[in-house]
Structures are given as C-alpha cells and as structure tokens.
Structure 1
C-alpha cells in the first residue's frame, strides 16, 4: 500500500459520490437485498418506469426502435428517458455505470426531435437512438477515468472520433460504463467505481473488460452499447450476458481519440465493437459507422466501404449449403458441459438448415497463446505501474472479492491470475522477434484454414469456425482464468461475432468424469464446474471469420441465428 493511500482512496470516494449525486433523486429505488442474486425482473417491478417506458425498453430489436423513431411514433426524448431510467435501475443493482449525464443526453435528444419536427427527416441512420459507451470513449468536458484513480479530474478536451460520428448519425450518447483497472481482465473491478456484477446472478461476473456494458445491456438499460476488444473484452461480456457482439479486424472501425492501456502497443491492436440484444443492432451500427467513411477522420481506419455482396455472402455460396467447422476445444482447456451442449445444438441447427459441419483441428494454439502473452507483457507491466503511480493506488492483483469469495483451492492453486511475478522487460529487438513470429503464425494458420478445401465439399475452405467464447459461462468473481478462445482471434486478427445459444441447465449439463488434465488451468476450470451453481446462466458462442470480413461475419451470424431459432421452434 502506497504512502499516498489516503489520497487515492479519498479521490475514489469523492468520484463515486459525484456519480451518485448525478442520479435524479426520484429515480432511486428500493433495491432488493444482496442475497437476491437474479435481478433481471426488478425494472418491471420497482415502480419507476411507466407502462409505456417498459414497452420501449422491452423492445430489444434495434431495427424496430429505429423504425419507430424514424416515423415519429416515438420521440427521442421519450426513448432516451425510458432507457436512462432503466439504466439507473441497472446501476443500482449491478454497479455498471461510471458517467451519468442526464441533462446533456436529454438536451441532445430534444435537439434530434426538433430537427425531425422542422424537416420531417431523420438526421442519420441512428436517428434518436440512445447509445451507451465503455469508459474509454472521450466526450468533451468529461473525465475518462478508465478504472484509474490517477485519471480522475482530467476532462477530455475534445470528443473521440466515434462520438463525433455518432452525433453526425443522429445518435444520443447517454451513459458510460465500468471497466477493470488496466482493462486486461476478463472481469470488471477497479478502485474508483468498484465491482460490476451480472444481473443473471450477482455472485457471478458479467465478464470484462467491457463488463459494465454487458450488465447494462442484459438489464435492457441500453438498446446498443459500444465496447473495445484486445483479448475478448467485447465478446466475453456478450457471451456471459446473453448478447450479440462483433469483434472487427484492426482499423475497420475508428479508434482515434479513445483512451487505452498500453497506448503505442500496435502488434495486437484494440478494436471497438457493438454489443446489443439483437442481430439487427450489430448490423445497423457497423454499417452506419463504415458508411460514414471513418478513414476521413481516423488515419488508422481502413479505407474499405461497406460491401453489400459480402454481407449477402457472395463469397460463401450466397449463404446456401455452407460448411462450418466446430472447435470443440482449443487443446489447452476443455469447456464445461453447458458450452459443449451449446455447440451440439448449433451443429444440429446448422445441419437441419442444410449446412455441413466438420470438426476444426486446432493449429499451433500453444505457440499463439505464448506469443500473445509475451507481446502483452513486453514492458513488464511498466504501463500499468506508471498509471497507478499517478495517484499512489496499488495495482490490482486479483479479481477475487475480499468477502464472499468463491472458495476453490486445488493443491494450492488459486483461480485468479496475478501480476505479482512480473515478466522480463523485453528489448526492442526481442519484441521485433515476437512480431516476426506472430506474422509467421498468422501465415501458418491461414494455410491450415485454406487446406480445409479438401474436405468441405463446397470447393471453398471452411466458411467460418464455431467455437466457445470461454470454457465456461459467467463464473464467480475472481474465477475467470482462461481467455485463449478469444485471444486467438486478436492475435490472428480474425473478424469474430458472438451470438447467444442456450442457458446452462442443471439437469441437462451434468458434470463430466475427470479427464487427463493438460495443465493447471485445465484442472482448475474442470473443478470449477458445479451444475447447480451455473444453472440458468446464458451460453454464447463465437463465429470466427477471416480478417476484414465484417460484412460476411455479420451475414453468417444472421444465418446462424435464424437456423438456431428455427431448430428450437421445430
């Protein structure tokens, strides 16, 4: 503990109090006791939202919301107010928000409505839609704390490029959401705002680092949120919270003006992506941003206009008779029974829809995992320690809560990763060798993928890979230790979506007999599973496509989603 501990603790306490004071007093509710673990129904029962506001916030399809806004059936003020009230309920239940700016957001919504009333036209394709944002996207005049006490009291001088584009498209940014300190965690906790919980079960994490968005969207406190992903930070919360999301390739969507950990680390770049309760939300957001030509505002944005042919799957047999491969496990950690069953359901749904499904053979995964870890920690944690030193706060070493932690010790093995043992600080030359190795691994994986032409029966290589997002569903706080299922795609820069499939079921997902454990993580994850503990939690999977194949991945995800819904209805 630093000698400045009282100073940073005071900073954090004052910042949390300012957040509380930003909530309209008549929006405070009588929250249920902490012993109530599932809180999804509280917005409907707490009495804060009117019947009309519940109708608005229960409209999970973004196309429907945009359609009503474009026709003037619902005003932006009433839609934004409804979602804002529900977001505040979510905050009181899950601690998901960092920045609350009701007056600014409603003034923007009023501006949008006045434009529509005066012209009879919408401002743009996201006209009037309230959008939530991870606490990395700078909004002029507001702090972007990003989980560090030392970043408090440093308001942004200008909007990030994404915020500028959202305004141009007619959207209404209305809240920002919680993240973990350093961002490089699959969970969400920091000293400033505290821990975010999963509304399906508050004993569980919503994932990370975009965990605030995950919890908020699961509560229907926002119709569409934007997060970032460098190792699974959009996809893990999406899977843990029953959502759809997209991890685009490097530079496809504009990151300029967004704060981050490890700024300057560009071998494995962070990307932004949408999270939402509907496939239409992913499509509408991604297409709208790309159609806005972000390369004219962000020098790193790829100059690639939206391709209708790619979205309609012109490169994938027009979406008919495709061949998918399922990665049943990554050869490092075996998935839990609910995740295995979700893959079995997906396989059956795809085959029922006329597609072929084969097994994916993992290729050099241990090498890719090691390469990624060495790149991420090439500075020996210097970036993290430097940001902590701004206030004197300690670097968080574990996501396990101090009280009511999940107790599982296997031969002395803790379930939480720590940074106590700092890796060696690499030289520039050593880092270059990792970059060179990464290029070789990407080429090797591409060749492995292309070689599947011999077995797909379509004349093409596998159209996409279906895989777990994590070896488990949402897990107890402090127990998320294996992130390679998502990290794989960040290292190889493969465009990837997440889609919900099912829910863990204690009767259907019985614990499997022990297998021969490959490593300590595999052992820990196996022993973590308890069918009663995980019952009722959502299970999502990934659809992995090629680099810069956003349109195709969105199109294939829609095919997948329709196949799943038809299979379940049959």
Structure 2
C-alpha cells in the first residue's frame, strides 16, 4: 500500500480525474440543487447541432444503423457522447474513469476498418458504451469506491469488455458507485456523491447510480450496471430508464470486480441500462450471440431464443394475463407509484389483456433469508478492504450538511453493515437450503395462478414497483425489498419508465395501519411538492432464464403506454 493517508489518496485521485477533463469542455453549473438539470446538455452551448442530434437519438437501432452504414463515424459519435458525458459529470458527478484519448483511438480504428472493408466490424460497431466501475479494462484502475484500490491497474480486461471489443463497441467512460456496493445510493470517499439530474437534492439510486445519472442526461447511448439487490433497476426507475436484470449466469461476469466475492447463493448479475428498450434488446442479444459461455465457465449455455422472444409460451403475446403487485405487505408504496401501477393496469386492459392482483407469498421469510445471507460474514469483506488504507466504513448516505431528516436509516445501516452475527459454514448452508425451499414454494404459488387467469396457463408476468417511492433525498433510500425479492427468486426482470410524480395528482393519502417502523418512516417521507417531476418506473417480472420473453413483454407494455400518451 501507498504510504499516503487514505484522505490524500482520495484527494490525489479526484484531482487526477478533474485534470483529465478538457478545459474547453467546462461549463457553468447552477448551485441550485433542487433545480432540474435534464435540459442543460442541449442548452449549455457546448454541443453542436449534430452532436445534439447524435446524443438525442435514443433508439439504439437507429444509431447503430447510421454507424453501420457510415452516415455517422464512430469518432463523431464517440466525441459527441464524450462531451455530453463530461457535461453530465459536471452536473451530477457521475463518472470515475475518463480516458478520452484511448476511446477516440479505438473509434478511429473502427472508422479505418469501415473505410477499408466497407462493412462494420460487429453488431455494436462504433458504439460508445459506459460501464459501471466494476468492469475491468486492461491498463486502467478499477477502484469501485475503495481508497485501497487506487493505483493498481488491470492486467487484462474482464470478459464482458473483451466481448464488447469483439462486437465493435467503444468503452468510453466508467461510472460511480457507493463504497461496498451494498447501498441503493451512490457515494464514496474517492469520487464523492452522485446526484439525480431531475433534482440534485435527490439520489439517483445505486449501486449503479453513476450509470443512472449519466444515461438520464443522455451522456451515453448504452450503459452496463450490475444487480444483486436492485442495483440496475433502482437507479433505472429513479432516473427514468429501461433496464434488464437477467437471471444468474445468463450474461458474463468473469474477471469483473465485486464486493463479497465468493458469495454465490444470490449472484450478482450484469444488465443493460438505456433510454430505449431497443438498446436493452440489442445489447442482450449481441452478448448472447457471442456465445459468452466460451469465455466464462459459469454462463449458462443458452442461445438467444427467437421462439421465446415471439412469446410462443405466452399466447404469442395476445390476450395475456398480467398480475399487479400493488403492495409487498412490508412497505406501502407512495401515491406516484400507485398511480403508475394503475396506469399500466388500465393500459393493458384497454389493449385486450387481463390483469389480476398478485397475492404476496412468504415475503417476510424471503426477506429474512436474503438479508441473513448477505450479512453472513458480519461485514468482514467490507472492513478488510477499508482496513487496507485506513479509510472508515461508510455508515450512512446522508450528507454531512443539510441532510434530509430520516432517522430510520441509521439503525437500518447498523443492522446491515455493523456487526451482525458471524455465521458458520453450517449455518450458512441452512440458509441456502431454506432459500431453495422458498424458491420452490414461490414457483408453486406462481403455477397455481392458472386457476385465476382464464388463459389456460399461469400468469404471464408480474408488474411490480421497483421501490415504494421515486428518487428520494440523499440518505433516505432504506428499502430495496421490492427488487431484492426477485434476486433471491432469480426471476428475470425488466425496468421501464411510466410517468412522473405530479403534486396535483399524487396527493398525500390518509395514514394506514403501519406494518413496521420503516413502513411508517416511508409514509412520512412523502411530500408532493418535493417529489414533483421525478420519474416513476416499474418492473416487469418473468421466470428464471426467460430474458427474451421478459424483453418482449416489456415491449408490449411500453407500446400500450405509448398508445395512451
């Protein structure tokens, strides 16, 4: 380790990041944290009309078509998104690694190949892609929010990055994460706090919060995050994005960095984040078509299924039956989330589909099992990494100054990352056994819905909240069970935007009978004025290893929502 203090290590690394930004790309940034900065990139004057057109082409199929036909060069597209990413960085502090020369050199290589051969190098030819700060790139640091990880560079790229290069992509920035990755927010001692561009007083979510903020500002056409408890879907919902949380080992994770490495009962998965469903599909299909099981021994050997994407097991997408999870029985959702569920229900029914209520099944047992597995090492993994530099383990996401009042989270944090009981291997095995029993019980519960659907088959998918709220003030995101539930069950999930919180439509509701302290705290947190204008997203939940069908069903939901607007 360096002889420098952890504070000096962090300060030096942050300065290195700031110095990597071209001076001509610096903009003037308002200090009003509650003011939306969503429109700033297009209005600040840094981007040319062509660069605005490029970066606001959110349909990835259109963008890739222009790249693959030479209408736009990779250098043009990469430069445009890099400039917009740097704008996003100044507005929300969403980036970690900035390597402009390297990315542009890659873009020029792809343009030279196209000029020489008259064809693209692969299905993602010339496309800049942002990556969460877990995906190792040869020759670059992977800091992942730890002071002790500053300095060493990766000797090789992770499998995902190798495949992206093979497909013709241009990795161009990496994005911020919370220390330890366990938080649903984004703050660490090295790079600082990432804010939500719709209201910087609010969190963008986490742990893929840097990706969420960057993509919301259209600073990247496609990003990749990871999800072990909602870390793709939560920032996706809080930032108005489309996302996919695939099943365990469907996409390649090998040689990427992670927290709690070795914990394999509830696996972290990587997934796309973007402003369009076309990007989610294009990324997922391209990676699977590259046969990642040849590079990552854990990846399931399953090719992209056109039959599943055509929804052959779901009535070919006609007259389907969806179930709505209105409330998980633990924490009641805020009014904007409830309204989003009602919008989706009505839109699906108007399109000829049936919608029934989902009946929660053994949720508290699943919650207890999940948190016990995550805490089985009593926080040793996090403490070991922090001890290497002497930096303190972060105990709260609340700002040092002007923190929003939310006392519940302090006790919650101590429960999760304090000093819970260190479990023996035998005790952990019992939790694994219990998890299998709960998964089987939930599968039986799903299959039993055949008696209520009227389609001759069980419910096709569940429509559920991603969180009980929209984005919340920094330090107030205490609940992840609406997403973690499906990580434990290993159901494929897609996140999608529905609407925006509206102070006139989403009034405070009368108090209900609170189930627990968190339920009460979440209820009291809601303020129609404060939450006004924030994105509201939901998730569509399918079966294990059913990514193709989940994407296709989400496309159907997205179309019926579009028809309603």
Q: TM-score range by the shorter chain?
A: over 0.9
Q: How far apart, in 1, do the equivalents of 2:35 and 2:472 lie?
A: 13
Q: How far apart, in 2, do the equivalents of 1:490 and 1:157 lie?
A: 31
Question: Deviation string for 1:377-415 (max 9, x for gaps)?
Answer: 1000000000001100000000000012102457xx758
Q: How far apart, in 2, do the equivalents of 1:366 and 1:426 lie?
A: 20
Question: Deviation string for 1:333-376 (max 9, x for gaps)?
Answer: 00000000000000000001110000000000000000000000
Q: How far apart, in 2, do the equivalents of 1:30 and 1:245 lie?
A: 31
User: In structure 2, what is the equivalent of residue 48 of structure 1?
Assistant: 46
Q: How far apart, in 2, do the equivalents of 1:503 and 1:46 lie?
A: 24
Relative distance call for 1:280 and 1:513 in structure 2 (3 A) is: same
1:440 aligns with one of 437, 443, 452: 437
Q: How far apart, in 1, do the equivalents of 2:499 and 2:76 lie?
A: 33
1:514 aligns with one of 511, 519, 523: 511
User: In structure 2, what is the equivalent of residue 269 of structure 1?
Assistant: 267
Asked if the contact 1:16–1:192 (Cα under 8 Å) also holds between the matched residues in 2, the reply is yes
User: In structure 2, what is the equivalent of residue 425 of structure 1?
Assistant: 422
Q: How far apart, in 2, do the equivalents of 1:170 and 1:470 lie?
A: 36
2:27 aligns with one of 9, 15, 29: 29
1:99 aligns with one of 97, 100, 104: 97
Give 3-state SS (helix, strand or coil) of 1:316's partner.
helix
Q: What TM-score do you get using the length of structure 1 for normalisation? A: 0.97
2:248 aligns with one of 244, 247, 250: 250
Matches within 5 A, 1:173-212: 173-212=171-210
Q: How far apart, in 2, do the equivalents of 1:13 and 1:236 lie?
A: 29
Give 3-state SS (helix, strand or coil) of 2:439's partner.
helix
Give 3-state SS (helix, strand or coil) of 1:417's partner.
helix
Please provide the CA RMSD for this pair: 1.2
Unmatched runs of 5 consecutive residues or more in structure 1: none
User: In structure 2, what is the equivalent of residue 287 of structure 1?
Assistant: 285
Q: What TM-score do you get using the length of structure 2 for normalisation? A: 0.98
1:305 aligns with one of 293, 303, 306: 303
Q: Which moved more, 1:195-204 or 1:64-73?
A: 64-73
Alignment length (residue pairs): 563
Asked if the contact 1:415–1:479 (Cα under 8 Å) also holds between the matched residues in 2, the reply is no
User: In structure 1, what is the equivalent of residue 462 of structure 2?
Assistant: 465
| Displacement after TM superposition at 1:560 (Å) | 0.6
Q: How far apart, in 1, do the equivalents of 2:7 and 2:372 lie?
A: 32
Q: How far apart, in 1, do the equivalents of 2:33 and 2:441 lie?
A: 50
User: In structure 2, what is the equivalent of residue 170 of structure 1?
Assistant: 168
1:489 aligns with one of 474, 486, 490: 486
Give 3-state SS (helix, strand or coil) of 1:540's partner.
strand
| Displacement after TM superposition at 1:45 (Å) | 1.9
1:225 is the counterpart of 2:208: no
2:361 aligns with one of 346, 360, 363: 363
Q: How far apart, in 2, do the equivalents of 1:380 and 1:521 lie?
A: 22
Question: Deviation string for 1:120-179 (max 9, x for gaps)?
Answer: 111111111100000000000111000000000010000000000000000000000000
Give 3-state SS (helix, strand or coil) of 1:266's partner.
coil
1:504 is the counterpart of 2:514: no
User: In structure 1, what is the equivalent of residue 472 of structure 2?
Assistant: 475
User: In structure 1, what is the equivalent of residue 535 of structure 2?
Assistant: 538
Q: How far apart, in 1, do the equivalents of 2:313 and 2:448 lie?
A: 17
Asked if the contact 1:150–1:390 (Cα under 8 Å) also holds between the matched residues in 2, the reply is yes
Question: Deviation string for 1:73-114 (max 9, x for gaps)?
Answer: 100100000000000000001000000000000000011111
| Displacement after TM superposition at 1:25 (Å) | 1.4
Matches within 5 A, 1:22-171: 22-35=20-33, 37-171=35-169
Give 3-state SS (helix, strand or coil) of 1:543's partner.
strand
Asked if the contact 2:336–2:506 (Cα under 8 Å) also holds between the matched residues in 1, the reply is yes
Q: How far apart, in 1, do the equivalents of 2:155 and 2:417 lie?
A: 36
| Displacement after TM superposition at 1:46 (Å) | 1.5
Asked if the contact 1:416–1:478 (Cα under 8 Å) also holds between the matched residues in 2, the reply is no
Question: Deviation string for 1:20-51 (max 9, x for gaps)?
Answer: 11111111112222445211111122111111
Relative distance call for 1:377 and 1:409 in structure 2 (3 A) is: closer
Q: How far apart, in 1, do the equivalents of 2:338 and 2:15 lie?
A: 44
Give 3-state SS (helix, strand or coil) of 2:272's partner.
strand
| Displacement after TM superposition at 1:272 (Å) | 0.2
Asked if the contact 2:331–2:515 (Cα under 8 Å) also holds between the matched residues in 1, the reply is yes
Q: How far apart, in 2, do the equivalents of 1:340 and 1:509 lie?
A: 9
